Amino acid sequence: MPQPATRSHDDNAAALVMSRLDALARFSTDPDGLTRLYLTPEHRAAADQVAAWMREAGLAARIDGVGNVIGRYEGARPGLPALLLGSHIDTVRNAGKYDGCFGVIAAIAAISRLDAAGIRLNFAIEIIAFGDEEGVRFPVTLSGSRALAGTLDPAVLDATDENGVSLRAALAQFGSPGFEDPKRLAYRPGQALGYCELHIEQGPVLEAEDLPVGVVTAIAGAARHSVEVTGVAGHSGTVPMALRHDALCAASEMILAAERIARDTEELVATTGMIAARPGAVNVIAAGAKFSLDIRSASDAIRAQATRDIFAEFAAIAARRGTTVDIGKTYEAAAAPCARHLTDALEASVARHGIRPRRLPSGAGHDGLAMIALCPIAMLFVRCKGGISHNPAESITTADAGVAVDVLVDFLRHFDPEPAKG
């Protein structure tokens, strides 16, 4: 059944959000699509445009030493601690228009509405347009949010892109003052009341349940592994099946075992997206096989247990097939739970708009993973067509954009800056 009251109070504001997202998508390295990597000239142009829109909406805007655009909307008196809103304006290669940018443009629309109504709250609001969420250009990610949270390692300045350009040099080209001591970019304790991000869902749940928005419970923790199976090469015509130690067959069985365990575990996903066999010839039994394994869950405990189960199964499969298996962890990030008082408040705002509150985890990473070191975090997801993201086919409706802005405005108007510990 369609939800009642899912139309925005302000259709013009929703249309403006959509046209700005179209306009922002034109700042692209790729003339036929959208590619906007961290600290490129296109990123700078987009950052300047976002800063201009922030100023138009009544915020004081600046670009900080790591390329974040930060706009501040003072509260009832200057200098109050701030509730932080925002998302990222960098993209993957051949991206969609909504991942990241929506959260920035929608937040600007919300503040514009407060400003037009002459509303000043008993806290300040800052909108941040982060520049390095996707982590495509440099072998680092979340540089902007880590800097604001005070957890950025200065060694990232020496990271280089595929053309050998260092992050330090790229910051200079970007026109950012840069930094040697990232701690100086961080918020002071007590100055950040919380971080709330609007983002497209990047999954199919809200669409399947006919809901325009949903409240995020946690950003899933994730680990990536590189798994290497070693067997014995042999001639594909002469070695009988029973006498083989086929590394690729062992790897295949392991991948299916990981899939089975993930399917049987609530709130867990496991994915193999890469595999390679060696020597890699049509008539040679594989001596080696290497594959990736990405495991995610909103619960670190569930992920740890499932990882142990999967690796025990890998060892058993390897032994049974007379092969060996080596597992290396290449990346790990703990889950970032959203703060109860913020998710409850978002849920109340959703309910006040006549929408059934739906809580769901975020399987993808976001700047909240870094911001949680600074302050409590929350996220509101907006339905996206087919659950598709990181793809030019990414799509949201004007009506849903309007609902998300309405919910955000309502959330801001009800937000209690006194540490609402609950």
Smallest gap from residue 390 Cβ to Zn ion (A):
9
Give the residues across from 84 on adjacent strands: 126, 195
**Interacting span for Zn ion (CB under 5 A) from 57-65, 97-105, 209-217, 229-237:** 97-105
Alpha helix segments (H runs only) across 120-159: 143-149
Smallest gap from residue 410 Cβ to Zn ion (A):
23
Size of the site for Zn ion (CB under 5 A): 2
Encoded tokens for 383? 């339905």
90 counts as binding Zn ion under rule CB under 5 A: no
100 counts as binding Zn ion under rule CB under 5 A: yes
Smallest gap from residue 199 Cβ to Zn ion (A):
6
58 counts as binding Zn ion under rule CB under 5 A: no
Report how far residue 319's alpha carbon sits from residue 131's, in angstroms, rounded to the nearest whole number.
47
Helix %, strand %, coil % of the chain (to 5): 35, 25, 40
99 counts as binding Zn ion under rule CB under 5 A: yes
Nearer to Zn ion, 289 or 372 (CB): 372
Which pairing describes strands 213-219 and 359-362: parallel, antiparallel, or unpaired? Answer: parallel
Nearer to Zn ion, 178 or 387 (CB): 387
DSSP state of 187: P
Smallest gap from residue 271 Cβ to Zn ion (A):
18
Smallest gap from residue 370 Cβ to Zn ion (A):
13
Q: Map the footprint of Zn ion across residues 241-270, applying CB under 5 A.
A: none
144 counts as binding Zn ion under rule CB under 5 A: no
Q: Which residues contact 368 (CB under 8 A, 6 or more apart)?
A: 145, 195, 197, 219, 336, 338, 377, 379
161 counts as binding Zn ion under rule CB under 5 A: no
Nearer to Zn ion, 100 or 361 (CB): 100
Report how far residue 113's alpha carbon sits from residue 247's, in angstroms, rounded to the nearest whole number.
61
CA distances from 231 to 49, 239, 255, 284, 352 (A): 56, 13, 16, 12, 61
CA distances from 10 to 85, 109, 356 (A): 20, 10, 21
Q: Map the footprint of Zn ion across residues 177-206, applying CB under 5 A.
A: none
**Interacting span for Zn ion (CB under 5 A) from 94-102, 176-184, 244-252, 259-267:** 94-102
Report how far residue 141's alpha carbon sits from residue 277's, in angstroms, rounded to the nearest whole number.
30
Give residue 25's Cα distance to chain centre. Answer: 18
**Interacting span for Zn ion (CB under 5 A) from 98-106, 144-152, 227-235, 244-252:** 98-106
Nearer to Zn ion, 74 or 99 (CB): 99
Nearer to Zn ion, 100 or 337 (CB): 100
Nearer to Zn ion, 141 or 299 (CB): 141
Nearer to Zn ion, 100 or 194 (CB): 100
Smallest gap from residue 29 Cβ to Zn ion (A):
18
Report how far residue 413's alpha carbon sits from residue 82's, in angstroms, rounded to the nearest whole number.
14
Interface with Zn ion by CB under 5 A: which residues?
99-100
